[in-house]
Structure 1
Amino acid sequence: MTYTIEDFARDHNTDPTKVEAAKARMLEEMRIYELKEARKAQALTQKQLAKQMGVSQKRVSIIESGDVDHVMVSTLKKYLNGIGGSLSITAKLPSGETLELA
């Protein structure tokens, strides 16, 4: 018989709310890691990317330190354009329709 994550959660009396919060933090860290790695894959330093974006190196560092949720869309777009990517934003409406915003 295998020991599942559900078994572990039951045996250790884990709080589902705390588990979900930890999962959300981990996913955020993964997104930040992927952004940094994409920049590095383009052989760009934070300083070089900041110059392309027209922002300070500190701003790039803040983005790469996990503050993506509080970054202006225009700044994130500049970051992604600077590493050769692009930004798309899709809204999911209550009706089930999707709307491409950017």
Structure 2
Amino acid sequence: MDIHEYLRERGVSEAEVERARQATEEKVRAYTLAQARKRCDLTQRDVASRMGVSQKRISQLEHGDIGSARIDTLRRYAEGIGGTLVACVELPDEVIRLV
């Protein structure tokens, strides 16, 4: 029995599995951002100051609240840790850079 059969037998829908997968991916991305900030020897308070937001907002971003963040917020976070945000739309035959 594979994991999908196991979950179906216990009443877990494919939609619930997909939501959990997306939430996990978002938490991994947020953790990766926090690790990048730490490698830059910056605290959440340092980045918050550079962005003009509260330390609490940085904590929210770094604990998985990336999906609901505005692109401008993510851009300012990237710049706050010395990086650049790149946003793209990936199509089967091309990539369109938005930011």
TM bucket normalised to smaller: 0.7 to 0.9
Residue of structure 2 in register with 1:44 after alignment: 42
Query: Judging changes above 3 Å, is the alpha-carbon distance between structure 1 residues 10 and 51 closer, same or farther for their aligned structure 2 residues?
Result: closer
Opposite residue 23 of structure 1, the aligned amino acid is: R
Structure scoring higher RCO (CA < 8 A, sep ≥ 6) equals: 2
Structure 1: gaps spanning 5 or more residues:
none
Deviations for 1:14-36, whole angstroms, at most 9, x for unmatched residues? Answer: 53222222211111111111111
Runs of 5+ consecutive residues of structure 2 not aligned to the other structure: none
Query: What residue is the counterpart of 1:100 in the other structure?
Result: 97
TM-score for both structures, normalised by structure 1: 0.76
Q: In 1, are the aligned partners of 2:89 and 2:97 still within 8 Å (CA)?
A: yes
Shift, 1:101, TM fit: 1.1
* Superposition RMSD in Å: 2.3
1:76 is displaced (CA, Å) by: 0.8
Change (3 A) 1:48 1:17: same
Q: How many residues align?
A: 99
The percentage of aligned residue pairs carrying the same residue is: 38
**Gap change, CA 1:62 and 1:6, over 3 Å in 2:** closer
1:27 to 25, 28, 38: 25
Aligned to 2:58, the other structure's residue is in SS state helix
Q: Is the 8 A contact 2:48 2:55 kept in 1?
A: yes
Matches of 2:11 and 2:65, distance apart in 1: 32
Q: CA deviation at 1:41?
A: 1.1
Q: Which has the larger radius of gyration?
A: 1
